[in-house]
Amino acid sequence: MNILFCSAGRRCELLKNFRKSMANEGKIIATDISLTAPAIYMADKYYIVPRIDDDNYIPTILDICKKEEIQAITTLIDPEIMILAENRSKFEELGVEVLTPYKETAEICFDKYVMYKYLKEKNIRTVLTYSDIESFEIGKSKGEIDFPVFVKPRRGSGSVGARRVDDMGTLEKAMIEDSSLIIQELMSDALDIDADIYVDAISNQAVSLFSKKKLETKIGGASKTISFKDDKLNQFASEALKVFKFNGPIDMDFWYRDGEYYLSEVNPRFGGGYLHAYGAGVDFVKLIENNVNGIENEPCFGNYEEDVVMMMYDSVVIEKIKGLLQ
C-alpha cells in the first residue's frame, strides 16, 4: 500500500507506527508547507507543497498521487478535511481511497451547534447546547440549565477558547468578546471518555473501537489515558455513526454520567490519542490495507487489554537541512 499523509506537521509517532506495520510493503509519502515539519522525515519521501488555500494545492496533491501511485490519502489537520472531501471524486478517479468523511458529514462535524441540532434530531444523546445568550436565558428560566456552564468556539479544535463560566456577567462579557461561542451544560460530574474508531471504507460502518478514559488533559487533547472496555459504549458509538458518512479513522469524545454515554464531538481524522490504541494492539493500518484492496473489514471490538496507560512526553527530531540559512 502506498499512502499519502497531507500536512504531516509534528505527527512523527503516527508515521513511525505506519512504517512498523507496513514492514516495507509499500511507501509512506508525506507533505507539508515547511522543511522543518518533523514528521516528513519519518516518511519514505516527502514533498513541500503550497498552502492548502492556494489554487495550486489540489492539482499539486493530485500530481503527487499519480507520480507515487498513491492508493490512500488522509490529512492530519482539520482545515484540510473539507478540502479533500470536496475533491473526493478527483482522487477516486485516480483510484485513491480518501480517508476523510463525505462532504455533508464534514460540514456537520466542523460546526458544533449544527452538530448538536443534528444529534438531537436523530435522538442521539448529547450535551445541552445554546447558540446565544437569548436562548440560554430561556433555557435557564425553564430550569433546563444553570451556572456554571461551559463555553467554546462554535468552530475550532484543540480546546482553544474553551472554558468554564460561573455567572451571567462573565458570560455576557465572553459572548460580546467572541460571538462565535456556544454555551453548554458543564459536565463536571461526568467521566471524560475518548474513542479511536475505524469506519470501514466499504460498509461505512464502525469495525474497530478503542476506548479510553482521560486521566490528564492539556490544550490540544489528552496527555494521559487508560484503556477500558464497555459493550454499552461500543453499541452507542456504532448506532450514532450510522447517521453519518465517515470514511476511515475518527476520534470521538464522550461524557459518561449516571450510566449513560453522551456524544460530545467527532474529530474525523487520526486523533492524537490513536498512539494509545496502536500501542495497545489496535492497528488501523491493516484495516486501511484491506479497504484499499477491496476487502470489507468485519467488526472486531475489544481486541485489546484494559488498564493500559498512555503517557505522552516530549521528543525531538534532528535532521540536516540545506538551504534554511540562505
Give the CATH number, domain containing residue 213.
3.30.470.20
Q: What is the pLDDT of residue 219?
A: 67
Query: Per the domain annotation, does 322 fall within a domain?
Result: no
Query: Per the domain annotation, does 107 fall within a domain?
Result: no
Same-domain pairing of 208 and 290: yes
Q: Which amino acid is at 283?
A: D
Q: CA gyration radius for the chain?
A: 20
pTM: 0.95
At 143, phi and psi to the nearest 5? 80, 15
Check whether the bond before 148 is cis (ω within 30° of 0): yes
Q: Please say which residue of 166, 185, 204 terminates a domain.
A: 185
At 237, phi and psi to the nearest 5? -65, -45
Q: What is the pLDDT of residue 136?
A: 97
| Element containing residue 78 per DSSP (H, E) | helix 78-86
Query: Per the domain annotation, does 231 fall within a domain?
Result: yes
Cell numbers for 208, please give them: 474497530
Same-domain pairing of 224 and 176: no
Query: Per the domain annotation, does 122 fall within a domain?
Result: no
Q: What is the pLDDT of residue 158?
A: 66
Range of the domain at 85: 3-100
CATH of the domain at 96: 3.40.50.20
Query: Per the domain annotation, does 176 fall within a domain?
Result: yes
User: What is the number of domains present in the chain?
Assistant: 3
Same-domain pairing of 214 and 287: yes
Burial of 251 (0-12, 13-18, 19+ CB in 10 A): buried
Q: Please say which residue of 146, 167, 185 terminates a domain.
A: 185
Q: Please say which residue of 185, 216, 250 terminates a domain.
A: 185
CATH of the domain at 168: 3.30.1490.20
pLDDT in tens, the chain (326 residues): 999 999 999 999 999 999 999 998 999 999 999 999 999 999 999 999 999 999 999 999 999 999 999 999 999 999 999 999 999 999 999 999 999 999 999 999 999 999 999 999 999 999 999 999 999 999 999 999 999 999 999 997 767 789 999 999 999 999 999 999 999 999 999 999 999 999 999 999 999 999 999 999 886 678 999 999 999 999 999 999 999 999 999 999 999 999 999 999 999 999 999 999 999 999 999 999 999 999 999 999 999 999 999 999 989 999 999 888 87
